[in-house]
Amino acid sequence: MIFRQMSDVSILEVFLIPYYNRQLTKNQRVVNILQEGCVVMSFITLDEVTKHYRMGEVIVKAADGVSFQIEKGELAVVLGPSGAGKTTVLNMLGGMDTCDGGHIVVDSMDISSLNAKQLTVFRRKDIGFVFQFYNLIPNLTALENVELASQICENPLDSAEILAEVGLHDRTDNFPSQLSGGEQQRVAIARALAKNPKLLLCDEPTGALDDDTGKVVLSLLQKTSHEKGMTVIIITHNQAITPMADRVIHIRNGKVDDILVNKAPVPIAQIEW
Amino acid sequence: MTKNAFWKDSLRQVRATLNRFLAILVITALGVAFFAGLRASGPDMRATASAYYDELNFMDVRLLSTIGFDENDVDAVRNTQGVLGVMPAYSYDAIVELSSENLTIRLDSLSEEPNTENDINAPNVVEGRMPESSGECLVDPHFITLSGYQIGDTVNLVSGTATLISDTLKTDAFQIVGIAESPLYISNERGSSDIGSGKMDAYVMVPAGDFTLPVYTEIYVTIENEAGRSRFEDTFTDLLEPIETALKDVGELRASVRYAEIQDEATQELDDAKAELNDGWAEYNQSKADFDTQIADAQQQLDDGYVQYNQGLAEYAAGLSALEAAKTDTEAQFSQAEDQLAQGQTEYESGLGAYNDGKVVYDALVDALAAGNTPEAIATISGLISEMQDDGADLAMVLSAYVDNPDDATSIAAAQGAVAEFGNVLEQSKQQLDEVAGTLDEKSVELEQARLDAQSQLDESQDQLDESSSQLNDLKETLDKNREELEQSRIEGQDGLAEAKERLEEAAQEIADGEEQLAELEMPEWYILDHDTNIGFASYKEDAERIDTLSVVFPLLFFLVAILVSMTSMTRLVESDRPHIGTLKALGYSNGKIASRYLLYALAASSLGSGIGLIVGFNLFPRVIFNAYSVLYNLPPIMADFNLKFAVISTVAAVSCATLPAWFICVRALRGTSAEMMRPAAPNSGKRILLERITPLWKMLNFSQKVAMRNLFRYKKRFFMTIFGVAGCTALMFAGFGLRDGITTIEPKQYENIQRYDLQIDFEGDAPAEEKQSLDEEITSSAGILSETELFQESVDFLSDGQLKSTTLIVPEVISEFSDFIHLQNRETQETLVLSDDSVIITERLSVLFDLQVGDTFVLRDGDGQEATVQVGGIAEYYLYHYIYMSPSLYRSSFGKEPVANQMLCLLRDPADDNSALATSLLEQSCVTSVTLTANVRASFENIVNSLHYVVWVLIISAAMLVFVVLFSLTTINLEERGRELATIKVLGFYDWELAAYIYRENSLLTIIGTVLGLLLGIVLQRYIITTMETDVLMFSRDLLWQSYVYSAGLTIFFAAVVNLVMFRHISKIDMVSSLKSIE
């Protein structure tokens, strides 16, 4: 996919971008990625992203030069065993963590160069999170949990509608403790969607759920991606769900092992595991 | 994991959670320091004073008697069971006149047995030395301050009564050789005196030998106290009471003995005096008789002298007149003789003339005859013949015959014969004349001689007379002098006699009085006064007890809050460590071992904290409080002892409050399986709160507020913990400020609203009218005095329900103007109280002490022992001492006496200025006994208030520190407990400030609720402390200034804000990744 603004800029300018970049502030920096001699810009691009943790005297390379792209509207599954670094990648991608090296570009913004405040703005406007353990505020009802997110956005979607969309129109006034795991996760997805984000990041969304409930959640995510054109990234160690993805990124030992593009993803209901 | 690994893990946990460890440590230290330190303050104060008293051998009992004590009394006391030391002593109140004021001082005698057990109330010589000889003295440090005297100066004493100093003391001048503190006067209040202004200013200690009193005025006694019990302890009272009883018995016995002795002695003395009087009268009469005789003799002599004198005078007069007569006589004789002489002379001269004529004629005749009878001769002869008179008749005839016959020879012869005869005759007469002239000359000489003789005779007589005159004058002078002398001696003698008589009569009167006194002689009485009657001891004891009172409620609340927080912290620690506990359990550690890990943690934090708290508390609080009181008392530095009792109580409580929760939670947690523990705890189930059911109200809240409210009321433990913590601290601070209000607002209320006068003049009500008038004139003429009112005031006993209290009765002269000087009003209703003629107004503290309401009655007993029952007509706001106000007519009808004004209250033109010159000039009025400037009283009251101030500030600062630590701990715990929730919210994209606001909203609400509750609790606490700290004579104000609300609430909110600001850093640092990655 060609960088969408390419039509508006001349080749010269494109080649000059790196030089411009040196003179522009971080915020204004125009992202350029040159790949295979051609200016190609995906919706999400990770370029040689590294992240090192110091654990005592040992340096753990959680991400050791991760590079991949994800196009807008795709449902991508980042797959890998425990400790492969997939959550680290997700955290960096979601603006919860910073990378030590390389670039992360989301919708033409290089988030690897943002400061804490800018990252907050990024999370606030562009990212929706879904966690393994839902992370709902126990003291808020389902609706309120959604409202908590929507009240801080500029163009939020209607919380009640979103809840209805995730199939919880009759559970809006229930507290998380009154909801099943699947329902809680659906509230969490509703909360993420209510912000109308550019990107939905899901970290092991079915990790704490039984298979059937997990399927409900996954199909909700797939539906969201396909029907709303939402870019969804799901992190999982469960290889079985890969057929539902538009793109599968294998990560092993902090590196991208393989990237598969699935031209015809399978609806989740048809997947058995 | 080896055993070592387990301990290492435990140690690492401390390091990992150092903040929490320190929080527990600090809060325990604070709680323990405050509790143990404040609780130990009262005992430390007592211990310090007790040691001082022991060192100076402070008396346990002071004996007074209505007739003093003699040696036998002293021996009787010494032989009483349980008595250790006995010191008979003298005391005497005198005045020291300074240029600016008069000091009333008390002279106390020093022990005659220094450094023995009988050296009671030994002076603590601060400077100089002990008196070594008569006429030397030790003085009060106050005396030095007040008088400006130095060691080496001489103190001159003046009697404060009609009696002479010499009746009591050998000398009235004492040289200062040292400055010493006396254990009798540890308080700056020196007590009262019945001379001067009635207030004792200082004491002076002199050798007992300088007193000349026949009996001791007091006996100081110490008791056997082998166990070394403190005088402040009840056990000491147990020791003292039987001895007091025994002394009372001794007193009764000795009193009756002394009574008999005195009676005998007095009778004997009276008899002696009577005999002496009789002798006196006899002597008087004798002297009078002698005197009279002497005077009479002298008078006689004088009279004789005068007689003599008069005689002499008469003689002199006679002599003088005789002399005069003689003079006249002589003069007459002389003039006669002179006349005769003159006559003779005249005769002689005429004879001489005749002769001369005759001679002329003769000569002419001779010539004529010789010439012959020439005509001319004849004519001459004729002429001569005509000239010839008597003697010439014959001649003439002859001659005429011759003329007629000039030639006749006969005739011529005849004529010649006749002429010759005539010549002869002439010659004869000439001879006769010469004879006469000679005689005359002789006579004249004789006469002259006679005159001289007579004159010298007269002069002699005159001299004699003059001599006798001067003799007479001398005599007169002598006599006059004698007469004067006699008169003098008569007067003198009479005066002497009159005086002697007067003395005798006086003596007679004295004897009569003595007889009367003897007849009226009452049984002497002993007063057995223990140290509770010593003003220093009693007020110090009261102050220490006040600190005790203060240190019960205050530190308890403080401590409660502190241990509550440490409990919460510990609970939180264990709960957050559930997975770890699970792991350890899974590894096979025993429950006890796992629990011990947390117990040790709690134990280490709390016992370390307790240790620090004890060290700080035991040193800080007693010192600060004692230093505050050092303004009022002269005592050595405080002995800040380690108080085991409070150390144990506070440490045990603090340590168990940290460890027990850890234990219980551990045990509860350990009941489950390790797998359960390693799994996340089920989420707190959300619920609707009550507020949501009030839909309209709930709908008014915005989303954030709803969330905040839900969070607040859902987490009840945190809710109550925070509110209680904040409320407790606010209450402590408020009570501190409120206490300050209660104390400090007394001053303006008392001295501006109630006591409005600026100057109080006490004068003798029975002073002579002219003295009073002179005072009135001075008052009227003084420019500084605006107005004045007079009143009668008297010390009275107040009796009600069998209780007795000494108070002061005030009877204003003019009720209508009285309120300008003392404004009486009811505190609660603010209604002004006016004296009526059927009831009295009493001050509030009195009404509280005796539980009297308006309409109740009580009994008043005046100084003469006269009693009157009166009704309470009003209860007046009043903070210092007790007063009863009565109208003059009620006084008259109650006591049957006229209230004679003896006090004057004045309003000054410039009360704020220094009016001491005015006071000094008023004091010079002879009827004025004391002049008190309200400004001075107010200043000294301020001093007392200031010492309490310090204590209050200790409370306030401690409470403020507690607020800070409590808020810090609770906020930290809150953040930790909700880490996951906060991380989630942060992930959702909340800005830091939004996240902070999410937390702060709840914190602020909790702080505000806590503060409001704290204020309410504080009002109760303040009221409780105020009422328990009040003394008999001092009422604290019930007022709470708005500043106290503002300060205590403001400080709490300020600390909350500071804590929240500090926490902001924490909030912005919340690690989203780690919070979300795992379960907790």
What is the mean pLDDT of the segment spanning B364-375?
A: 72
Q: To probe the interface with B, which of A111, A114, A135 has the most B CB atoms within 10 Å?
A: A135
Query: Distance from B1061 to chain A by nearest Cα, in Å?
Result: 19
Q: Is residue B682 within 8 angstroms of chain A, CB to CB?
A: yes
Tell me the nearest-neighbour CA distance from A155 into chain B, angstroms. Answer: 14
Helix (H, G, I), strand (E, B) or coil at B957: helix
- Report pLDDT digits (tens) over B628-673: 777 778 888 888 778 888 888 888 888 888 888 778 877 777 776 6
How far is the C-alpha of B139 from the C-alpha of B128, rounded, in Å?
A: 10
What is the per-residue DSSP string for chain A?
-B-TTGGGS-HHHHHHHHHHHHHS-TTTPPP--EETTEEB--SEEEEEEEEEEEETTEEEEEEEEEEEEE-TT-EEEEE--TTSSHHHHHHHHTTSS--SEEEEEETTEEGGG--HHHHHHHHHHHEEEE-TT----TTS-HHHHHHHHHTTSSSPPPHHHHHHHTT-TT-TT--GGGS-HHHHHHHHHHHHHHT--SEEEEESTTTTS-HHHHHHHHHHHHHHHHHH--EEEEEES-GGGGGG-SEEEEEETTEEEEEEE-SSPPPGGG---
Task: Using pLDDT thresholds of 50, 70 and 90, give the confidence band for residue A221.
Answer: confident
Which residues make Cβ contacts (< 8 Å) with residue A106, sequence separation at least 6? A43, A44, A93, A122, A126, A198, A199
Least confidently predicted of B239-243, B426-430, B869-873: B426-430
Q: Exposure string (b/e) for B699-722, b if CB count within 10 Å is 16 or more?
A: eeeeeeebbbbbbbbbbeebbebb
B707 reaches A (C-beta below 8 A): yes
**Cα angle vertex B702, ends B698, B706, to 5°?**
55
Q: Which residues of B301-327 are buried (b: 16+ CB within 10 A; e: fewer)?
A: ebeebbeebeebbeebeebbeebeeeb
> Which comes out higher in pLDDT, residue B134 or A9?
B134
Residues in contact with B209: Cβ distance below 8 Å, sequence separation at least 6, in sequence order: B112, B134, B170
Confidence class of residue B1037 from pLDDT cuts 50, 70 and 90? Answer: confident
Output the pLDDT for position B886: 92
Give the lowest-confidence range in A115-129, A227-241, B921-935: B921-935
A115 at interface of B, judged by CB pairs closer than 8 A: no
Query: Residue B14: what residue type?
Result: V
CB–CB of A146/A162 below 8 Å? yes
- Asked if A148 has any chain B CB less than 8 Å from its own CB, the reply is yes
Q: Is B990 on the interface with A (CB under 8 A)?
A: yes
Nearest chain A residue to B709 by CA distance is A139
Backbone angles phi, psi at A112, to 5 degrees: -70, -10
Query: Minimal Cα–Cα distance from B701 to chain A, Å?
Result: 13
Which among A92, A99, A124, A139 is the top mutation candidate for probing chain B, defined by the most B β-carbons within 10 Å of its own β-carbon? A139
Q: What is the pTM of this model?
A: 0.65
Judge: A96–B686 Cβ closer than 8 Å, yes or no. no
* % residues pLDDT > 90 (chain B): 6
Secondary structure (3-state) at B845: helix
- Please, which residues have CB within 8 angstroms of residue B391's CB and are 6 or more apart in sequence? B354, B358, B425
Contact B989 A191 (CB under 8 A): no
Question: Hey, which bits of B608-758 come out as E strands?
Answer: none
Contact B110, B206 (CB under 8 A): yes
Residues 6+ away with beta carbon under 8 Å from B743: B945, B948, B949, B952, B1036, B1037
Q: How far apart are CA B739 and CA B724, in angstroms?
A: 21
* Structure confidence by residue, pLDDT tens digits, B1005-1034: 888 899 999 999 999 888 888 887 777 777
pLDDT of A11 over the 50 cut: no
Judge: A120–B981 Cβ closer than 8 Å, yes or no.
no
The number of residues making up chain A comes to 273
B681 band by pLDDT with thresholds 50, 70 and 90: low
For testing the chain A interface, which of B692, B988, B1070, B1071 should be mutated: the one with the most A CBs within 10 Å?
B988
CB A180 within 8 A of CB A161: no
Q: Any idea of the CA torsion for B428, B431, B435, B438, to the nearest 10 degrees? A: 160
pLDDT at B1078: 52
pLDDT score of B612: 92
Residue A152 is nearest to which of B983, B988, B1073, comparing CB atoms? B988
Q: Which of B682, B686, B1079 sits opposite A139 (nearest CB)?
A: B686
* Lowest-pLDDT choice from B33-37, B397-401, B729-733: B397-401
Please indicate whether, in this complex, the C-beta atoms of A144 and B1072 are within 8 angstroms of each other.
no
Is B1073–A91 a contact, with Cβ atoms under 8 angstroms apart?
Answer: yes
CA quadruple B341, B346, B349, B354: dihedral sign: negative
* The pLDDT of residue A30 is above 50: no
Would you say residue B170 has pLDDT above 80?
Answer: yes
Does the CB of A80 have a partner CB in chain B at under 8 Å? no
Residue-averaged pLDDT of chain B = 83
Q: For A177, which of B683, B980, B990 is closest by C-beta distance?
A: B683
- pLDDT of A23: 43
Q: Test B707 with A149 for CB contact under 8 angstroms.
A: no
Higher pLDDT among residues B9 and B896, named by residue? B896
The pLDDT of residue B916 is: 74
Of B687, B989, B1076, the CB nearest to A120: B989
A contacts of B1077 (beta carbons < 8 Å) = 87
Which residue of chain B is at minimal alpha-carbon distance from A126?
B989
Does residue B324 sit at the A interface (CB-CB below 8 Å)?
no
Task: Decide if B531 contacts B537 (C-beta within 8 A).
Answer: yes
**Contact, B419 vs B388, CB < 8 A?**
no
Three-state DSSP state, B799: strand
| Nearest-by-CA chain A residue for B1072 | A96
**Which pLDDT belongs to residue B481?**
87
Nearest CA distance, B967 vs chain A (angstrom): 23
Any A CB within 8 A of B706 CB: yes
Of the candidates B86, B61, B73, B359, the residue with the CA atom closest to the CA atom of residue B236: B61
Q: Which of A27-36, A215-224, B74-83, B613-622 has the lowest mean pLDDT?
A: A27-36
Confidence of residue B679 (pLDDT cuts 50, 70, 90): low
- pLDDT tens profile B856-889: 888 888 877 788 889 999 999 998 888 999 999 9
Using a CB-CB cut-off of 8 Å, the residues of chain B touching A133 are 680, 1076, 1079
For residues A22-55, one letter each, b for 16 or more C-beta atoms within 10 angstroms of the residue's C-beta and e for the rest, the string is eeeeeeebbbbbeeeeebebbbbbbbebbbbeee
pLDDT of residue B811: 92
Q: Which amino acid is at B193?
A: S
Average pLDDT over residues B354-364: 77
Q: Please give, rounded to a whole number of angstroms, the shortest distance from the CA of A64 to a CA of chain B.
A: 19
**What is the predicted pLDDT for the residue at B928?**
81
- Using pLDDT thresholds of 50, 70 and 90, give the confidence band for residue B176: very high
Q: Which is nearest to B563 in space by CA: B1070, B181, B23, B10?
A: B23
Q: Which residues of A touch B1076 (CB under 8 A)?
A: 96, 131, 133, 135, 203
Residue of chain A whose Cα is closest to the Cα of B1080: A133
pLDDT of B10 reads 74
Q: Which residues of B touch A136 (CB under 8 A)?
A: 683, 984
Confidence of residue B798 (pLDDT cuts 50, 70, 90): confident
Share of chain B above pLDDT 70, in %: 94
Condensed to tens digits (0 to 9), the pLDDT of residues B761-786 reads 888 887 788 888 888 888 888 888 88
Partner B contacted by A53 (CB < 8 A): no
Whether the CB of A9 is below 8 Å from some CB of chain B: the reply is no
The per-residue pLDDT for A22 is 45
- Quote the ipTM score: 0.81
Residue A35's pLDDT band (cuts 50, 70, 90): very low
Residue with tokens 């602020």, as numbered in its chain: B1004
Q: Rounded to 5 degrees, what are φ and ψ at A128?
A: -120, 130
Segment B689-713 mean pLDDT: 77
Nearest CA in chain A to B978: A137
Residues of chain A with C-beta less than 8 angstroms from the C-beta of B991: 117, 120, 124
Mean pLDDT of B965-990: 82
Pair of tokens at residue A271: 């997947």
Q: Return the number of other C-beta atoms located less than 10 Å from residue B593's C-beta.
A: 13
Q: What is the predicted pLDDT for the residue at A19?
A: 45
d(CA A10, CA A16): 10
Ordered strands of the A75-79 beta sheet: A127-130, A199-203, A231-236, A75-79, A247-252, A255-261
Closest chain B residue to the Cα of A151, Cα to Cα: B703
Whether the per-residue pLDDT at B1003 is higher than 70: the answer is: yes
> Tell me, what amino acid is at A126?
D
SS3 B660: helix
Mark yes or no for CB contact A195/B985 under 8 Å. Answer: no
Q: Is B152 an 8 Å CB contact of chain A?
A: no
The beta-carbon neighbor of A138 closest among B684, B987, B1073 is B684
Q: Which amino acid is located at B590 in the chain?
A: S
Q: Span B170-188, mean pLDDT?
A: 88
Ranges B165-169, B279-283, B973-977: which has the least confidence: B973-977
Is residue B409 predicted with pLDDT exceeding 90? no
**pLDDT given for residue B841 in this prediction:** 92
